[in-house]
Amino acid sequence: MAKRENDLGRDPVGKLLLRLALPSVMAQLVNALYNIVDRMYIGHIPEVGDLALTGLGVCFPVLMFVSAISALVGMGGGSRAVVRMGEGKEDQANAILGNCTTLLILLSVLVTVGFLAVKEPMLYLFGATDNTITYASDYLTIYLWGTIFVELALGLNFFITAQGFSTMSMATVIIGAIINIVLDPIFIFGLNMGVQGAALATIIAQGVSAVWVLRFLTGKRTKLRLQKRFFRINPKVLAPVLALGVSPFIMNATESLVNIAFNTSLKAAGGDPAVGAFTICSSIMQVFFLLLQGIAQGAQPIIGFNYGSGQLDRVKQTFRLLLICALAFSCTVWAALELFPGAFVALFNDKPQLVTIAVRSLQIYAGGMFILGIQTGCQQTFVALGQAKISLFLALLRKVILLIPLIYLLPLFFSDQVFAIFLAEPVADILAALTTGSLFFFRFPRILKHRQEQLGT
């Protein structure tokens, strides 16, 4: 039997959370560098950096949708598989892995063909102008051809994390990110490829990461192993996986809708500079939100495994530690962004007009960051406990029910429409976190009580 790096059922919870969360946080930080480094380099292309950066921002909805599919299949499958492992049902866990691998490949092909077919009109719909369409189209064309690498690297890495192999899952991301960071300046500036070079560097890096994941999941150390007999699609296996994965999918997919709403509204209210400012603000916030997710992902295997094995005191202890860590992190980040916004904006561009708008916008946009620790900690715990319906509602709440309508409603009450559009983000964050926290503390004891009754204890 393969030995896990961490014993999810017996190691002290505090030390276990630290050992799992730190690699997860590092993995998310490095993962963010895939796109962030692209944006930082592109934003400093001589003379056209601001337009190129804005063009890349128009592509974000597609990039986020691609990531959403990996979360749908990978996070849903990984969460489901770790519960089956906790129950001692290893064949069922391996069937989940095999089915999810096949589904990721099929969805990759559909996404690539579909988006390439409607690329240019789609980008105009997402906020591109005649000044930025060339940059957006050049980047997206190359990126889409590497969709299968992105899906396999991100989606299957959840199955490595779920087993407790946190160091290996972190290595998946680090290897790709280092390759991306090295290739970016070579392709963008050395070979004078511009945004096309940034996209090429990204898909090469993701391709190497995908190979790394596939080799591990067919090796000797893994307990979950890719096996041919489980590659044939079985709806009975995938249905509960997709039901659980739909929450993180919607969380990521609705980011696409949010970006479209922001880009089109800001294009009308403030033109390319306002869209460029949003690209910078969302890029900065994405880094910190991914780090927050990394903390939660470190706790998920502990919560899921111990929930499956009936060790409910460890579930409660892990959640308490998760909430404290996530809230402390979100408050610290909020203070840094409010006090030193210029330092963060300068990483992406140095043109005075864009910098001035972006600094002011960042302080508004990040206004609700302090409370996101509650939102993330509670929502990701629901996912780990297999609460698909609640997770789905909370995923819809923040982005679809609150944020998108606020983007269009708040400008009706403010003369400064750009300010009003950016204000929608913190208002939605605060309302969603308060709702999520209240629902969690009402439902959590009842979920654990129901599990106790199932176990007959």
Residues ≥6 apart with Cβ < 8 Å to 398: 375, 428, 429, 432, 436
- Overall residue count recorded for the chain in this entry: 457
On whether residue 7 sits in a domain, the answer given is no
Give, for all 457 residues of the chain, the pLDDT tens digit. Answer: 334 456 666 666 777 777 777 777 776 677 677 667 778 888 878 777 778 888 888 888 888 888 888 888 888 887 787 777 777 677 777 888 888 888 999 999 999 999 999 999 999 888 888 888 888 899 999 999 999 998 999 888 888 877 777 778 778 878 888 898 899 899 988 888 888 898 899 899 999 999 999 988 888 777 777 777 777 888 887 888 888 787 778 777 777 888 889 989 998 888 888 988 998 898 888 888 888 888 887 888 888 788 877 778 888 888 888 899 899 999 999 999 999 999 999 888 778 888 899 999 999 999 999 999 998 889 888 888 878 678 778 878 888 899 999 999 999 999 999 999 999 999 999 999 999 999 998 988 888 888 787 776 6
Q: Give tens-digit pLDDT for 259-317.
A: 889 989 998 888 888 988 998 898 888 888 888 888 887 888 888 788 877 778 888 88
On whether residue 9 sits in a domain, the answer given is no
On whether residue 241 sits in a domain, the answer given is yes
How far apart are alpha carbons 350 and 371 in whole angstroms?
31
* Token pair listed for 180: 């991306």
How far apart are alpha carbons 297 and 291 in whole angstroms?
10
Q: Do 22 and 75 touch, CB atoms closer than 8 A?
A: no
* Residue that the structure tokens 């309508």 belong to: 405
How far apart are alpha carbons 106 and 250 in whole angstroms?
19
Q: Do 406 and 260 touch, CB atoms closer than 8 A?
A: no
Per-residue model confidence (pLDDT) at position 1 = 35
Domain count, the chain: 1
On whether residue 4 sits in a domain, the answer given is no
* Residue that the structure tokens 């502990």 belong to: 302
On whether residue 256 sits in a domain, the answer given is yes
Q: Among residues 32, 39, 37, 64, which one has the least CA distance to residue 53?
A: 39
* Token pair listed for 413: 């009450």
Alpha-carbon Rg of the chain, whole angstroms? 21
How far apart are alpha carbons 152 and 130 in whole angstroms?
34
Q: Euclidean distance between the first and final Cα of the chain, in Å? A: 29
Per-residue model confidence (pLDDT) at position 449 = 84
Q: Give the largest Cα separation in the chain, rounded.
A: 69
Per-residue model confidence (pLDDT) at position 3 = 43
Global pTM? 0.73
Fill in the amino acid letter for 111.
V
On whether residue 410 sits in a domain, the answer given is yes
Q: What is the DSSP string of 32-59?
A: HHHHHHHHHHHHTSTTTHHHHHHHHHHT
Sign of CA dihedral 436, 438, 439, 445: positive
Per-residue model confidence (pLDDT) at position 310 = 75
On whether residue 175 sits in a domain, the answer given is yes
Q: Structural domain of residue 214, as residue ranges?
A: 15-455
CB half-sphere exposure, 219, CA atoms < 13 A: 12
Q: Among residues 302, 261, 307, 312, which one has the least CA distance to residue 282?
A: 261
Q: 382-410 as b/e, with b when 16 or more CB fall inside 10 Å?
A: bbbbbbbebbbbbbebbbebbbbebbeeb
Sign of CA dihedral 158, 243, 249, 441: negative
On whether residue 8 sits in a domain, the answer given is no
Q: What is the DSSP string of 309-356?
A: HT-HHHHHHHHHHHHHHHHHHHHHHHHHHHH-HHHHHTTT---HHHHH
